[in-house]
Amino acid sequence: MKSLKQLKFNNTFHHLGKPFYSEVNPQGISRPFLVSASQQVAQLIGLRPDEIHTPYFIDLFSGQALLPGFQPLAMVYSGHQFGFYNPQLGDGRALLLGEVDCNAEKWDLSLKGAGMTPYSRNGDGRSVLRSSIREFLCSEAMAGLGIPTTRALCVIGGEDPVFRETVEKSATLVRVTQSHVRFGTFEYFHYTEKPEVLKRLADYVICHHFPESLESDEKYPHFFGEIIQRTAVMIAHWQAAGFAHGVMNTDNMSILGQTFDYGPFGFMEDYDPGYICNHSDVKGRYAFQQQPAIGLTNLNALGYALSSLMTNEDLIRKLQEYEPTFHACYAGLMRKKLGLLGAQDEDHDLWSDLLQLMENAGANYTILFRTLSEYSIDDTNTELRELFKDQEEFGAWLGRYNGRLKQQEDTGPSRQKRMKAVNPKYILRNYLAQRAIEKAEKEQDYSEVNRLLALLYRPFDEHEGMEAYADAPPDWGKSLVISCSS
């Protein structure tokens, strides 16, 4: 582990040159203070955890100072937003500070809320404390669940007023990932008719993130296929976890297949395939059940952007791999959630029928599967049965489930242990995040943020004394409104 000044930087994206970004220094926020930081992410980039609490750390990641090795830049990209192409977006409030080399891995440090850039589009370039806390907690919660995601190093608060629907306090967040290249980065160079620049970008991404494609006789189709595979796996994990992203625009889609840019996200409470977590999504384009199809739509947009690098036949052939990959991954995840070993033809009907029963009963998605993890063939399972209104229908389903379990050897404690390792007891419920935000905003008390962080790193464990955090939300928690402005 190293101190901040000992971190090794190799800013490979900066080496690409001017077509890809604008050089911009951060505009620091006033009177910065540490809200919360992730020791896990600090260790990931090779930073000593004790560095987190130093004034120098706060100055750097509030935009007040630059570390030797930082070469701040705002990346240019475009993208399809709610189905419509926006020709130029770019980092309007974020800067790629630099790339840390640690144990043969490269980690981007991106400062969100760093002030205006050439791509701010009349915005102020700032982030607010509320949205920064939400992104920080969800980035780390997703990592705890084993879902592909970007990470977050810290949230730094400040005293500057920021005007949204109301006046809020400023904040910065440091996002950490191997690459900030998005689907929309390729779209920008395609639609501006710069095929040579696009090829340079593709070669850069392949070299640094998909080296196995260099060994293929079909370098670019192989590269595209890898992105398709990773995206399908990511969205399968979303669906199995009951997670809705909320803004699946192509500028929010990582070429690494990581959950990227947390805004009006939500973990589903009562099972509802039509769940819309984004109040701004009035037509339900990004509803929970739409996410797999939108993933394919976005990959089609990326494929069109890459059409100068491969034939239409190659593009179509690779895109046809998406649905089988998604369904295979999702099926595997659902079998694990049900504690099933092996694969049988009736398994699909078993979980799809359960989901229908859950929808009919308004059963809580996370609580149901966690309770199912306690299921015993030799018990009345009263707690589980009480989650369903129609006892006759659920009893019939339990009979089928019983029969399936009896076909495998571990029908008792070992199965329950396996199921608890994939069915979380704790998730980042919107009302829990809101409660932590209100404590931070009104009382300058960040203890709830840190308590949630510790809990969500180990979401499958019991956490004695924390059982209330696993409860279904109160009525006011179910009706929280989250929009893109969050």
Q: Are residues 93 and 235 in the same domain?
A: no
Residue 309's pLDDT band (cuts 50, 70, 90):
very high
Q: Is the pLDDT of residue 66 over 70?
A: yes
Helix (H, G, I), strand (E, B) or coil at 412: coil
**Which residue, 364, 388, 420, sits at the end of a domain?**
420
For the chain, the average pLDDT equals 96
Tens-place pLDDT, residues 164-209: 989 999 999 999 999 999 999 999 999 999 999 999 999 999 999 9
Distance CA 327, CA 296 (A): 13
- 8 domain residue, yes or no: yes
Q: Are residues 45 and 158 in the same domain?
A: yes
Q: Which residue has the tokens 């209104």?
A: 389
Q: Give the pLDDT confidence score for residue 386 in this predicted structure.
A: 95
The partner residues of 169 in beta bridges, in order of sequence, read 161
Q: Give the pLDDT confidence score for residue 389 in this predicted structure.
A: 87
Tens-place pLDDT, residues 339-364: 999 999 999 999 999 999 999 999 99
The partner residues of 155 in beta bridges, in order of sequence, read 36, 173
Q: Are 75 and 91 in contact (CB under 8 A)?
A: yes
Q: Give the pLDDT confidence score for residue 170 in this predicted structure.
A: 96
- 450 domain residue, yes or no: no
Q: Are 29 and 158 in contact (CB under 8 A)?
A: yes
- 111 domain residue, yes or no: yes
Q: What is the DSSP string of 178-202?
A: S---BHHHHHHHHHTT-HHHHHHHH
- 155 is in which domain, residue-wise? 4-180
Q: Give the pLDDT confidence score for residue 409 in this predicted structure.
A: 84
Tens-place pLDDT, residues 132-161: 999 999 999 999 999 999 999 999 999 999
- 475 domain residue, yes or no: no
Q: Is the pLDDT of residue 486 over 70?
A: no
Pairwise pLDDT comparison (478 vs 72), residue with the higher score: 72
- 127 domain residue, yes or no: yes
Give me the percent of the chain exceeding a pLDDT of 90: 94
Q: Are residues 11 and 142 in the same domain?
A: yes
Residue range 286-299: mean pLDDT, rounded: 98
Q: Are 467 and 480 in contact (CB under 8 A)?
A: no
Instruction: Give the DSSP letter of residue 103.
Output: T
Q: Are residues 364 and 327 in the same domain?
A: no
Q: Is the pLDDT of residue 85 over 90?
A: yes
Q: Is the pLDDT of residue 32 over 60?
A: yes
Lowest-confidence pick of 83-87, 222-226, 477-481: 477-481
Which residues belong to the active site? 251
Q: Are residues 16 and 101 in the same domain?
A: yes
Residue type, 84: F
Residue 243's pLDDT band (cuts 50, 70, 90):
very high
- How many structural domains compose the chain? 3
Alpha-carbon radius of gyration of the chain: 23
Residue range 368-386: mean pLDDT, rounded: 93
Residue 480's pLDDT band (cuts 50, 70, 90):
confident
Helix (H, G, I), strand (E, B) or coil at 161: strand
Distance CA 439, CA 433 (A): 10
Distance CA 419, CA 417 (A): 5
Give me the percent of the chain exceeding a pLDDT of 70: 99
Q: Are residues 193 and 282 in the same domain?
A: yes
Distance CA 214, CA 232 (A): 22
Q: Give the pLDDT confidence score for residue 481 in this predicted structure.
A: 76
Q: Are 306 and 224 in contact (CB under 8 A)?
A: yes
pTM value?
0.97
Q: Are 480 and 434 in contact (CB under 8 A)?
A: yes
Q: Are residues 359 and 239 in the same domain?
A: no
Q: Are residues 247 and 278 in the same domain?
A: yes
Calculated CA dihedral for residues 110, 116, 120, 125, nearest 10 degrees:
70
Q: Are residues 159 and 193 in the same domain?
A: no
Distance CA 220, CA 183 (A): 15
Q: Is the pLDDT of residue 418 over 90?
A: yes
**Which residue, 146, 161, 180, sits at the end of a domain?**
180
Lowest-confidence pick of 94-98, 371-375, 472-476: 472-476
Lowest-confidence pick of 361-375, 424-438, 467-481: 467-481
Q: Are residues 240 and 300 in the same domain?
A: yes
Q: Give the pLDDT confidence score for residue 475 in this predicted structure.
A: 86
Q: Give the pLDDT confidence score for residue 485 in this predicted structure.
A: 60
- 103 domain residue, yes or no: yes
Q: Are residues 265 and 380 in the same domain?
A: no
- 125 domain residue, yes or no: yes
Q: Are residues 312 and 409 in the same domain?
A: no
Q: Is the pLDDT of residue 328 over 90?
A: yes
**Which residue, 180, 212, 241, sits at the end of a domain?**
180
